[in-house]
Amino acid sequence: MENIFTQWFGNSLLTYILIPVPILVYVSVFALYAVLAERKVSAWMQNRIGPNRTDKFGLLQTILDGLKLVQKEIVNPTRSDKLYFRMAPFIVFTAAFMGYAVLPFSSVFMGVNLNIGLFYFFSITSLGVVGVLMAGWASNNKYSLYGAMRTVAQIVSYEIPTALSAIVVVMLTGTLSMNNYALAQSGGIFNWFIFGGPGDIYKIILIPIMVISVVILFISTLAETNRTPFDLTEADSELVAGVHIEYSGMLFAMFFFAEYAQMFAVSGVIATLFLGGWQSPFGDLIPFLNTPVFQVLWFLGKGLFLVFVQIWLRWTLPRVRIDQLMTMCWKYLIPITLVNLFLVGLYMLIFK
């Protein structure tokens, strides 16, 4: 995208202001309809109808909800830290949104083709935790504080399995650029890293390792986005709404937006790392399906499928407890990912 915009507007400040616009538009539209999708999917799972009063299938529902939230008064709790209280949602949203800079929507459409893309993504999205902690502390509410402390513990811990399971792919490709992962998986569905990536027959050994890695990556990103079964920060049955408890109006909507933005961002990363990114599953059989416009569709399709799985899990599973969450991370996920790393290293030593 960078080069397209440079072509059109030259290497000016305007270019760099304009680059995020299409992504921002996408994120806004996605968040609005992901909320609707969440409500609709949950409704179908629970034998309900879901929102259906606004337009057909309730298509306007979340837009109108958003309009309502805009009109709401923003209430500052007494003795809260006003500055931080108002700043927090923006930090959370910004952190979630900045991750999109390196997501390769297709071989051409990406914010910036950074050579340390994956590294950038993990570090920038974990910035969100600062915002959450800020919100929890500034709200002057014990529930918020508990929620915030849980989040920090949770996100900081789950960074490790996330990164470690992603490193498997980094080792195989030897790059940190997001676009290169997608490029490395060209040539059809069996060249995706979930199936061991491109390579000779010995890559079969890699398949179980890769499947485990992708599952772990999915679980830990689920924890990082604070979705059920890991939504301890909100935990409505214990902490009422956690850090969101004192927020109203647009500030609350920012948190909401951030959550959905993050959901797609992490799904995008999983899709890029393991599911071929923007590559068509048919590879070179049908070259027509691998043109940039279709690439965007493949990428969105994979990302949205993972978002659907997240929604599905949310409405099926109960919530875990904080100590179980930590146990799972430190006692199971991290050792397994370490073993995975070791095995991949061994594979590379022997077969490459």
Asked if 259 interacts with other proteins (CB under 8 A), we say no
Asked if 240 interacts with other proteins (CB under 8 A), we say yes
Subset of 138-167 contacting other proteins (CB under 8 A) = 142-143, 146
List alpha helices for the chain, DSSP H.
2-9, 13-18, 20-45, 61-71, 82-98, 117-125, 128-138, 142-173, 178-184, 206-224, 249-274, 292-314, 322-327, 334-351
Angle between helices 292-314 and 20-45 (to 10 degrees): 40
Asked if 239 interacts with other proteins (CB under 8 A), we say yes
Asked if 222 interacts with other proteins (CB under 8 A), we say no
Give 45 or 212: the residue with its C-beta nearer to other proteins: 45
The partner residues of 110 in beta bridges, in order of sequence, read: 104
- Minimum CB separation of residue 334 from other proteins in Å reads 19
- Minimum CB separation of residue 107 from other proteins in Å reads 40
CB 132 within 8 A of CB 302: no
26-30-33 Cα angle (round to 5): 145
Please give the single-letter amino acid code of residue 54: T
Q: Which of 257, 1, 191, 174 is nearest to 104 (CA)?
A: 1
Give 178 or 232: the residue with its C-beta nearer to other proteins: 232
Subset of 322-351 contacting other proteins (CB under 8 A) = 322-324
Could you say which of 60, 205, 320, 341 contacts other proteins (CB under 8 A)? Answer: 320
Please give the single-letter amino acid code of residue 12: S
How many residues appear in the chain? 352
Residue whose entry in the numeric block shows the structure tokens 């989040």 = 151
> Cα–Cα distance between 88 and 82 in angstroms, integer?
10
- List the x/- string, 38-77, binding to other proteins by CB under 8 A: ----x--xxxx-----------------------------
- Minimum CB separation of residue 320 from other proteins in Å reads 6
Give 206 or 311: the residue with its C-beta nearer to other proteins: 311
- Minimum CB separation of residue 157 from other proteins in Å reads 15
Residues that bind other proteins (CB under 8 A): 42, 45-48, 142-143, 146, 228-229, 231-232, 235-240, 315-324
